[in-house]
Amino acid sequence: EASTCGSTPYSASQVRAAANAACQYYQSDDTAGSTTYPHTYNNYEGFDFAVNGPYQEFPIRTGGVYSGGSPGADRVIINTSCQYAGAITHTGASGNNFVGCSNST
């Protein structure tokens, strides 16, 4: 599903690629590079996702699938059954909180 995080638009295929990568890392108990991603997302913000948790968060990037380094502000959320939950961003949120990306939560 296409989504806009802050002022950054993502195509449906970019969102799907990030979700698929998160799923593959999660299922193989692996992470991107030397990072901790994907990792547990506790949904302290209380987003009403279309699928049930528990959730994992993984960075979404405009230039290909995240493979390590700075994660940026934007995240794709999947559940541990690898179902897509939504996209969220630190952009426009206070502190370390998240807000929903448009068209996605």
CATH number at residue 71: 3.10.450.30
Structure tokens at 9: 């638009």
Domain that residue 21 falls in: 3-100
Of 22, 23, 57, 60, which one is the catalytic site residue? 57
Q: Average pLDDT for residues 22-46, to the nearest whole number?
A: 98
In a domain, 105, yes or no: no
| Active site (annotated) includes residue 65 | no
Q: Average pLDDT for residues 26-54, to the nearest whole number?
A: 97
pLDDT in tens, 60-84: 999 999 999 999 999 999 999 999 9
Of 26, 56, 90, 105, which one is the catalytic site residue? 90
In a domain, 28, yes or no: yes
| Active site (annotated) includes residue 28 | no
Question: CB-based burial of residue 81 (10 Å sphere; 0-12 exposed, 13-18 middle, 19+ buried)?
Answer: exposed
| Active site (annotated) includes residue 39 | yes
Domain count for the chain: 1
Q: Do residues 84 and 51 touch, judged by C-beta distance below 8 A?
A: yes
Whether 104 shows a pLDDT value over 60: the answer reads no
Residue with tokens 């405009």: 62
Of 4, 16, 20, 39, which one is the catalytic site residue? 39
